Amino acid sequence: MSRIGRNPIPIPKGVQVSVADGVVHVKGPKGELKQLVPTGISVAVEDEKVVVKRGGDEPDVRALHGLVRALLANAVSGVTAGFKRELDIVGVGFKAELKNPREIVLSLGFSHPVVYKAPEGIAISYDSKANRLTIEGIDKQQVGEVAAEIRSARPPDAYKGKGVKYADEVLKLKAGKTGA
C-alpha cells in the first residue's frame, strides 16, 4: 500500500470537505477548491479526517493513490494558509512595475516591456527595494505555474546570473573565457 496514500488528512477547524459524484469540494477561510477523483480511487470523510482508499492493486490505480492524497492535502492547506512563491529579479536596470494586484510589467533588458496578466485567484506583489516578486494563491499548482511563466520571460543566464530566478534557487555560475 502507498505510504503517502494511506495517511489520513486531518481537517482543521473552519474547513469543510464534501465528496459528491467523484469530485471533492474543499471550502475554507481563503476560498474554495475542487479536486476530481479518478476511477478506482474512493475518498471518504471520517471523523474530521479525509481518507483515500484504492479499489484494486493494478499499477495505474496504485500510482494514483498517493497522488490523489497529496492533491487533497494541498487543497486543505491551500484554503487554510495558502501558498507563496518568491522570485528575485537580478540585473542592472532589471525591474518590475505593478499595474494592479494581478498585472505586472517587467523590464528585463529587452527592447520592449514584458506584460504578464495573472489568472483569477492569484495575487502578485512587488518589493522594489529587494527587487522581489511574491506570487500568492490557494492553488499550489497554479501558483507554481505562474511563477514558472514569469521566470521563463528571462531565466538566469549561466555566466552572470542575470534574469528572473526563484528566491531559493542556487545558481552555479560558469567560468568565462580566460585571456591569453
Mention every residue, 6+ apart, whose C-beta is less than 8 A from residue 119: 102, 142, 146
pLDDT score recorded for residue 102: 81
Cell numbers that stand for 52 in this block: 483515500
What residue type is assigned to position 145 of the chain?
E
Which among 86, 79, 15 is positioned nearest to 49, based on CA atoms? 15
Q: Provide the percentage of residues in the chain whose pLDDT is more than 90.
A: 84
Residue 12, pLDDT > 90, answer yes
Torsion angle of the four alpha carbons 26, 31, 36, 42, in this order, in degrees rounded to the nearest 10? -10
Q: What is the DSSP letter of 167?
A: T
- Binning pLDDT at 50, 70 and 90, where does residue 164 land? very high
**What would the pLDDT profile of 70-98 be if each residue is shown by its tens digit?**
999 999 999 999 999 999 999 999 999 99
Give the burial class of 9: count Cβ atoms within 10 A of its Cβ; 0-12 exposed, 13-18 middle, 19 or more buried: buried
What residue type is assigned to position 14 of the chain?
G
Mutual angle of helices 140-151 and 59-80, in 10-degree steps: 90
Instruction: List 86's β-bridge partners, or say none.
Output: 134
**What would the pLDDT profile of 101-158 be if each residue is shown by its tens digit?**
789 999 999 999 999 999 999 999 999 999 999 999 999 999 999 999 999 999 999 9
- Binning pLDDT at 50, 70 and 90, where does residue 17 land? very high
- What is the rounded average pLDDT of the residues 165-171? 94
pLDDT score recorded for residue 1: 55
Instruction: Give dist(CA 38, CA 135) in Å, integer.
Output: 30
